[in-house]
């Protein structure tokens, strides 16, 4: 008993000590419990200097080495004003090339910060000055576009104040920057995924779930469903490649146990600027007991829409207004879309307050629609069980339990309600203080992609110009998936090759649908079709041509691509003609959602609105979805176009868009 109490005391003392140390090393904007109505500690003005270096500092209670900017993690908040001309001097003290991409900003392509596309990058010991005018206002962020540096701390927030009156009225503001942190070397994470793509998925379906499905749907339907997924060599629980089994999820650099707190006074209108700066995580955000009014998406103002929950894809930003009237605490709950973990913070009137953290909801499973079968009903198991399933035996390659210091584990964050009889649900465990010293952090055997040395003259970015046609519904009992895939490829002029394993047979527009797992929530959930631009769209021309591009994969080999061709193998860029209005149609042939990001330009999401389409730079495309965006090619130069899931981009899901002068 004495030993247990002593361990508990030491653990809490360690948490307090490292928490205070971490708080002191954080930039002021990211520190907990700041009382200023306007964000403090930011770098403001027109000239900036940022030094990129590596330092050892606490993350989630453990001292680890990560990348810092001006010695800070997360990086400093940069505050600009629309209309100003900026000069940002970046000094590289790393032993490798680095870069900064100004995510979502409209600027000359030479200043975009993508090595091998817009410039060579910043060599070790070198420096580079970005110079560009500020053409917009809103919430944005910046991050490295070199290797996997973004995963280990190379990111920070940007706020741009409008030149005139802000259409959003608020009394106080807070940045809520979400991220995911792994204590593994990110190159080792990638190496594991290449060897076994579901290495981090400890939420596979179990025998218990099978019998529950038999009780609910009958043996034939349940058995057919299992056979179908087995034939495709896919898992209906494969919702995220990298999960809470290795990730600790952070708010402004704080783990849930560290309780980052945003203060308010009752009755104030508080603007929360949500930024998803994670490498691989999609979050479902809610504040139980407090409605949120969305006023901005990807930095641009939208007509206010009140909701209770929204999904924020990797690299998206959403600004919301909340107006708490009571002197109480509210939990900002940011649950990952696969339900394997969460980031959490507190909105309160005083430091030290904390509301209860909601229990994580059951893990959802993929459906026929996610397989690209549209609205075809094959009796799929679409409803999750009332409780999360038992975790199967952990793959020992993911974690060495023999060297794990269990006395240092934080069990306060563990959801014991989801633990099954003999097996422990590691998705519910708080890994913030876990001793990983026995883990193998060796860098992966395969070299990382070096964008600076790529030969872009050898790219092949050919895209389809014919829209895909819809296949008729087919009885799954008589379905031959191989033959159907061949038929679909022929009917759609679909790309083939080792990078294309599955094809969406009947892809449909899903912008109006709630995200997976939120379909049956009793409260309001934001969908893309609810977003409308506050100002009329600047270009109301109808598109003169259409391009179609397929999101493709081979999960067994962890290959990600567009049209079956990974970035290192393409020969020509995708051509936009300067000044044209074109429609880009994207078809997701994979089983996973992808946040797709276009550099240098906003696109108008085709939602049905004629004059107020939501304008975004990043959008999450659901599995089996076919959707379109309209683009005005007004930014000459070469621009990156990619999935913003870092390991997907690293594996090849990236292209170059070239906006060139139209040749008659």
The pLDDT-based confidence of 28 (bands split at 50, 70, 90) is confident
User: Three-class SS string for 438-502?
Assistant: CCCCCCCCCCCCCHHHCCHHHECCCCECCCCCCCCCCCHHHCCHHHHHHHHHHHHCCCCCCCCCC
Answer yes or no: is pLDDT of 508 > 90. yes
The pLDDT-based confidence of 40 (bands split at 50, 70, 90) is confident
Give the containing element (helix H, strand E) for 225: helix 219-232
pLDDT average, residue stretch 127-132 = 98
**416 vs 651 pLDDT, higher one:** 651
pLDDT average, residue stretch 251-278 = 97
Of 300-304, 417-421, 535-539, which range is least confident? 417-421
Answer yes or no: is pLDDT of 236 > 80. no
Average of per-residue pLDDT values in the chain? 80
Of 192-206, 293-307, 635-649, which range is least confident? 192-206
> What's the confidence (pLDDT) of residue 273?
98
pLDDT average, residue stretch 150-175 = 97
> What's the confidence (pLDDT) of residue 148?
98
Tens-digit pLDDT profile for residues 466-497:
333 333 333 333 344 444 455 444 445 666 66
Cα gap 559→572, rounded to integer Å: 20
Answer yes or no: is pLDDT of 286 > 60. yes
> What's the confidence (pLDDT) of residue 221?
60
Answer yes or no: is pLDDT of 384 > 80. no
Answer yes or no: is pLDDT of 382 > 70. no
> What's the confidence (pLDDT) of residue 51?
98
> What's the confidence (pLDDT) of residue 433?
36
> What's the confidence (pLDDT) of residue 420?
35
pLDDT average, residue stretch 257-276 = 97
Q: Angle at the Cα of 528 (from 523 to 531), degrees rounded to 5?
A: 95
pLDDT average, residue stretch 336-343 = 96
Q: Specify whether the CB–CB gap between 578 and 542 falls below 8 A.
A: no
> What's the confidence (pLDDT) of residue 468?
38
Tens-digit pLDDT profile for residues 83-119:
999 999 999 999 999 999 999 999 999 999 999 999 9
The pLDDT-based confidence of 367 (bands split at 50, 70, 90) is confident
Q: What is the DSSP letter of 637?
A: E
The closest alpha carbon to 155, from 661, 659, 644, belongs to 644
Of 1-15, 66-80, 616-630, which range is least confident? 1-15
**349 vs 424 pLDDT, higher one:** 349
Task: Give helix 219-232 / helix 481-492 axis angle, nearest 10°.
Answer: 60
The listed range with the strongest mean pLDDT (46-55, 205-214, 479-488) is 46-55
Tens-digit pLDDT profile for residues 168-192:
999 999 999 999 999 999 999 999 9
Of 17-26, 77-86, 461-470, which range is least confident? 461-470
Answer yes or no: is pLDDT of 435 > 50. no
Portion of the chain with pLDDT greater than 70, in percent: 70
């Amino acid at each position: 008993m004495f030993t247990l109490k002593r361990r508990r005391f030491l653990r809490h003392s360690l948490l307090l000590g490292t928490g205070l140390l971490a708080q002191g090393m954080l930039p002021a904007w990211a520190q907990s419990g700041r009382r200023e109505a306007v964000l403090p500690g930011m770098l403001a003005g027109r000239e900036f200097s940022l030094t990129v270096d590596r330092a050892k500092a606490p993350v989630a209670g453990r001292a680890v080495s990560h990348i810092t900017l001006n010695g800070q993690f997360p990086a400093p908040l940069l505050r600009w004003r629309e209309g100003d001309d900026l000069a940002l001097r970046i000094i590289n003290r790393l032993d490798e090339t680095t870069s900064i991409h100004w995510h979502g900003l409209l600027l000359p392509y030479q200043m975009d910060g993508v090595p091998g596309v817009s410039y060579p990058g910043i060599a070790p010991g070198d420096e580079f000055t970005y110079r560009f005018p500020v053409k917009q206002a809103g919430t944005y962020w910046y991050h490295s576009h070199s290797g996997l540096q973004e995963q280990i701390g190379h990111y920070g927030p940007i706020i741009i104040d409008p030149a005139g009156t802000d259409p959003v009225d608020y009394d106080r503001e807070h940045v809520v920057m979400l991220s995911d942190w792994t204590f593994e070397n990110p190159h080792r994470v990638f190496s594991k995924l290449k060897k076994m793509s579901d290495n981090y998925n400890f939420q596979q379906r179990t025998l218990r779930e099978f019998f529950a499905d038999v009780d609910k749907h009958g043996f034939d339907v349940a058995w057919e469903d299992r056979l179908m997924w087995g034939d495709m060599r896919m898992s209906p629980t494969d919702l995220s490649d990298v999960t809470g089994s290795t990730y600790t999820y952070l708010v402004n650099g704080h783990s849930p146990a560290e309780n980052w707190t945003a203060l308010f006074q009752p009755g104030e209108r508080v603007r929360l600027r949500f930024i998803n700066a994670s490498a691989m995580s999609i979050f479902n955000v809610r504040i139980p007991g407090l409605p949120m009014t969305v006023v901005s998406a990807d930095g641009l103002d939208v007509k206010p829409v009140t909701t209770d929950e929204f999904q924020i894809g990797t690299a998206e930003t959403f600004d919301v207004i909340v107006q708490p009237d009571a002197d109480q605490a509210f939990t900002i709950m940011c649950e990952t879309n696969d339900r394997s973990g969460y980031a959490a913070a507190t909105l309160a009137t005083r430091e030290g307050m904390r509301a209860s953290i909601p229990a994580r909801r059951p893990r959802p499973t993929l459906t026929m629609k996610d397989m690209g079968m549209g609205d075809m009903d094959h009796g799929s198991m679409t409803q999750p069980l009332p409780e999360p399933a038992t975790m199967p035996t952990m793959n020992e390659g993911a974690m060495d339990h023999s060297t794990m210091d269990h006395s240092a584990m934080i069990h306060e964050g563990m959801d014991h309600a989801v633990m099954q009889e003999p097996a422990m649900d590691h998705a519910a465990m708080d890994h913030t203080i876990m001793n990983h010293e026995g883990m193998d952090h060796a860098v992966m055997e395969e070299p990382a992609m070096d964008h600076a040395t790529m030969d872009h003259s050898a790219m092949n970015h050919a895209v389809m110009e014919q829209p895909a046609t819809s296949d008729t519904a087919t009885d799954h009992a008589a379905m031959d998936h191989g033959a159907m895939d061949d038929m679909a490829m022929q009917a759609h002029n679909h790309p083939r090759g080792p990078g294309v394993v599955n094809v969406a047979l009947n892809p449909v527009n899903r912008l109006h649908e709630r995200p997976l797992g939120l379909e049956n929530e009793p409260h309001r959930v934001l969908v893309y079709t609810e977003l409308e631009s506050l100002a009329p769209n600047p270009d109301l021309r109808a598109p003169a041509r259409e391009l179609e591009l397929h999101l493709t994969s081979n999960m067994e080999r962890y290959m990600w691509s567009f049209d079956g061709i990974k970035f290192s193998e393409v020969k020509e860029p995708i051509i936009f003609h300067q000044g044209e209005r074109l429609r880009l149609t994207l078809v997701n042939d994979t089983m996973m959602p992808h946040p797709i990001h276009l550099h240098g330009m906003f696109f108008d999401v085709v939602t049905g609105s004629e004059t107020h389409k939501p304008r975004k730079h990043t959008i999450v495309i659901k599995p089996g979805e076919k959707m379109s965006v309209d683009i005005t090619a007004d930014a000459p130069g070469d621009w990156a176009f990619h999935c913003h899931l870092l390991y997907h981009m690293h594996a090849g899901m990236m292209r170059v868009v070239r906006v060139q002068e139209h040749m008659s």
